[in-house]
Chains A and B, each alone.
Chain A
Amino acid sequence: MTKKYSLRIEKRKDIGFAMSTISIIVSLLVSLLVTAGVIYLSGADPKVVLFAIAKGSFGGKNAIIDTLIKSTPIMLTGLATIVAFRARVWNIGQEGQLFAGAMAVTFVLLTFPNLSLPAYLLIPLLMIVSMIGGALWGSIPGYLKSKFNVNEIIVTVMLNYVILYLMTFLLNGPWQEPGSFYYNTIKFPESSWLPLLFDTRLHLGFLVAVAMAGLIYLLMWKFKLGFEIRATGDNPVASTYKGINIKRISLTVMLISGALAGLAGGIEVLGIHHKLIYGFSSAFGFTGILIALLGRMHPVGVIIASVFFGALHNGASAMQIYSDVPRSLVNLIMGLIIIMMLLWEAIFTYRIRRVEHVG
């Protein structure tokens, strides 16, 4: 009898942590290679361009600080995504909820201009206000889903437009700074500005976002509510049979998700702009969804992914200065990474095995 061998491809039952990590690293490397190819084809030197991105994002103290600042809002919207998606509630409305948070803060500051609270009271209060604003906006799709089983994807996407136009209207009308040519409010009182850390431009919001990642970790894996959220997401039928009220869970996750996105909006206006200004969010809400996917639906993953995306955004500015490549190249890189991740995850779900033939 002769032995023959052949290779066979078969599906793994569970991809596992190690394979999952390897697949992310492979996707990043492949994306980088493809990007280098695109840069080369456009006539620039990939080495120079990529070096410029790296230098702009991590080269020196100021670059690192800017990277962390840019990562703050998307870290929060990424966390917002985790909470909803873990329950298989597809909240695509982080962008709108982020606006709602920023608008809630603006509303309070413009309505009570004589609010003379000290900063250590005013700032926590405003953060809570922004969370309430986001949660209220998130409660609409949450309520519709839990009460009437209305598809939350459609409602959240549509509500993004509703609040964007509402904000545009307010910034073009009652909230506009008198005499301003742009769509923005007056500057907020200085006591509402987020304090800066370590003598840099880094504001308190970054620490709040990291703390929130810790809280979400505890919520999802140490609290009864998190257990029920994960159970609902993984198997709503079994969860129902075992007494979990999955309708209440879907409303709850929309409130938490909305609150986190709202906080992102509040922190962005209080920490950076010190006023509400049209276009203050460059798709932070939508980026949060990518961050959550890249971070494997885990708070630690979200921290890493948001810093990485923050670095890319930050590096893009430097790249534009040092080379002729436009900053929209960064969007290409981000898109590539997501596609590569999905691709490699699918590939890593299979394994190749050598089988023995007797015959």
Chain B
Amino acid sequence: MENQKENSPILVVDSITKSYGALVANDQVQFEVQKGHVHCLLGENGAGKSTLAKCIYGASKPDSGSIKFKNEVTHFSSPREAIRQGIGMVHQHFVLAEPMNAVENIIVGEESTGAILHPDVETAKIQKLADQYGLTLDLSLPVNQLSVGEQQWIEILKALYVGVDLLLLDEPTALLTPQEVDKLFNIIRKMTEDGITIILITHKLHEVMDISQRVTVLRKGKTVATVDTADSSKASLAELLVGREFDFRVNKEKIEPGDPVLEIQGLTVKRDNGTTGVDDFTLTINQGEIVGLAGVSGNGQPELFDACVGVRSPENGKIILGGEEITGLSPLDISNKGLASVPQDRLKQGLISDFEVQENLILGIHGNEPYSKFSMINWSKVKSHAEDMIDNFEIATRGPDQKVKQLSGGNLQKVLLAREVSKEVTALVASSPTRGLDINATYYVYKRFLDLLHDGTGILLISEDLDEIFNVSDRIAVIFNGKLMGIFDVEDATREKIGLLMAGVKEEDSD
């Protein structure tokens, strides 16, 4: 039995090529997955992992190449057929109907239930599965009342319920706390014991090391290598991943912190629906330091960001920028007083995709001299400014008049950063500034941050990525339910400590 497992691959991907326009997302990709394995697909953002998963799952048709599942060539025209054959997928962004409960979400689209539903029968069936895998969640609650982790259990239960043999998990840990990640990995191990094969898509090296038996590394759409995890190390995988060795921590000299540049004092901010987003939050950022704010998404980070930049007025508390109170000022005034901001969603909150590079480079400062005078925009100044910025920030663009929607993610972020620092900057508030960027672009962003620190700026870095927080912060603060859970020098912080606080567990009540 054991022997047979090793010898018969359940999935064979043979020279899959898939392109979108000029972009080749998958180029002759090939690998095999053994039955009962956890097989990782490792690659940077944009390496083609999700495209490959879509091809396997039938959501996308490869241009050429073939996929064999259980020794048969597949021709899925839709995910529905893939599910019928026993391939399931949990997407990075869950596809659940929020007002409905877990059971309803699991049985939706399932044909065996027939036209008339028997919720009790189905609930019992699903509860049994949940117990079997040690998943504790209330099946009767509407999905929007469950945590992100619990929503993921639903997706997994759905796959178990339809009885998949192969389950694709697309970056399943992106939104989870470290504790939830541990739980997820335990469930994955249990599933493989029951003969289910798992393909785990990730860009996190430690996850590969923790859970997988084999790993296929993708780079720029091509398979670089497929190796046994036992024969690999984080460093060797990293080398495959980026094509060169790199050190994990940014080379960063310590700058002596100076005066406070951004002081948040007792800040309380409400969400649109009236619930409290930020709750009596106090934090000070000094010149020359990066304060990383760790937290699971949805714990008040967007409201904090909005209050700082002036888009949302706080209920209570003060925000002081370089010694001057800015609470309740308009976004324009706050920006002109020296607050730079990098919002979480570049294309939605930061840039105007139908605008040209040069137009985006003056958005927000378009009313200031020299870009405009007597209410008229001085386009020759705008253009020469854009040319300077394109050179200075190495923005890959056809020219100042190219629309930004045609730029890549890294270049979008460069445009945004270039704009934000092309004024006097006292402090920078950045929310997930490297999300979706590849390693080179990420390092570029960090390099610019360091330049800002040297110029006497302080940075508040809001991020859900603990690696990022640990890599670049001087101090780490944790937010949970809108409250400050603690703040540490990076030398004193450990992942475990931060992880517990992110989950809302203070040390005194943990044991």
Contact = CB atoms under 8 A, between A and B. Distances in A.
Given A224-B376, A227-B366, A14 B405 contact: yes
Contact of A243 (B63, B350, B364): B364
A357 B63 contact: yes
Contacts of B331: 240-243
Given A10-B20, A227-B377, A239 B352 contact: yes
Given A243-B335, A243-B364, A237 B377 contact: no
B363 A231 contact: yes
Contacts of A230: 355
Contacts of A224: 366-367, 372, 375-377
Given A234-B352, A241-B331, A222 B309 contact: no
A317 B331 CA distance: 56
Interface in B344-390: 348-355, 359, 363-364, 366-367, 372, 375-377, 379
B21 interface: yes
A238 interface: yes
B403 A14 contact: yes
B377 A223 contact: yes
Contact of A238 (B349, B375, B377): B349
Given A224-B366, A242-B364, A235 B353 contact: yes
B311 A240 contact: yes
Contacts of A334: none
Contacts of B349: 237-238, 241
B498 to A, nearest CB: 29
B399 to A, nearest CB: 15
Contacts of B336: 243
A13 interface: yes
Given A231-B352, A243-B364, A359 B64 contact: yes
Nearest to A228: B366
B295 interface: no
A7 interface: no
B330 interface: yes
Nearest to B22: A353
Contacts of B327: none
B375 to A, nearest CB: 5
Interface residues of A, number: 28
Contacts of B330: 243, 245
A123 B358 CA distance: 42
A355 interface: yes
A5 B406 CA distance: 28
Interface in A12-30: 13-14
A357 B64 contact: yes
Interface in B307-358: 309-311, 330-336, 341, 343, 348-355
A168 B275 CA distance: 52
Contacts of A8: 63
A7 to B, nearest CB: 12
B54 to A, nearest CB: 16
Interface in B80-122: none
A359 B310 CA distance: 58
Contacts of B377: 222-224, 227
B376 A238 contact: no
Classify chain B: how many residues form its interface, as a range.
Answer: 35 or more
A122 interface: no
Interface string B386-410: 0000000000000000010110000
B405 A238 contact: no
Nearest to A11: B21
A172 to B, nearest CB: 45
A225 B372 CA distance: 11
B405 A13 contact: yes
Contacts of B350: 238, 241
Given A231-B355, A243-B364, A223 B375 contact: yes
A238 B21 contact: no
A358 B64 contact: yes
A235 B352 contact: yes
B376 A223 contact: yes
A223 B372 CA distance: 8
Contacts of B20: 10
With most chain B CB atoms within 10 A of its CB, the pick from A222, A225, A240, A243 is A243
Contacts of A237: 348-349
With most chain A CB atoms within 10 A of its CB, the pick from B310, B341, B354 is B354
A244 B349 CA distance: 12
With most chain A CB atoms within 10 A of its CB, the pick from B311, B351, B352, B376 is B352
A353 B22 CA distance: 10
A238 B372 CA distance: 20
B367 A234 contact: no
8 contacts: A13-B405, A13-B406, A223-B375, A227-B366, A230-B355, A231-B363, A358-B64, A359-B65
Q: Which 8 A-B pairs have the closest CB atoms?
A: A243-B332, A242-B364, A243-B331, A235-B352, A234-B354, A234-B352, A242-B363, A224-B375
Interface of B: 19-21, 63-65, 309-311, 330-336, 341, 343, 348-355, 359, 363-364, 366-367, 372, 375-377, 379, 403, 405-406
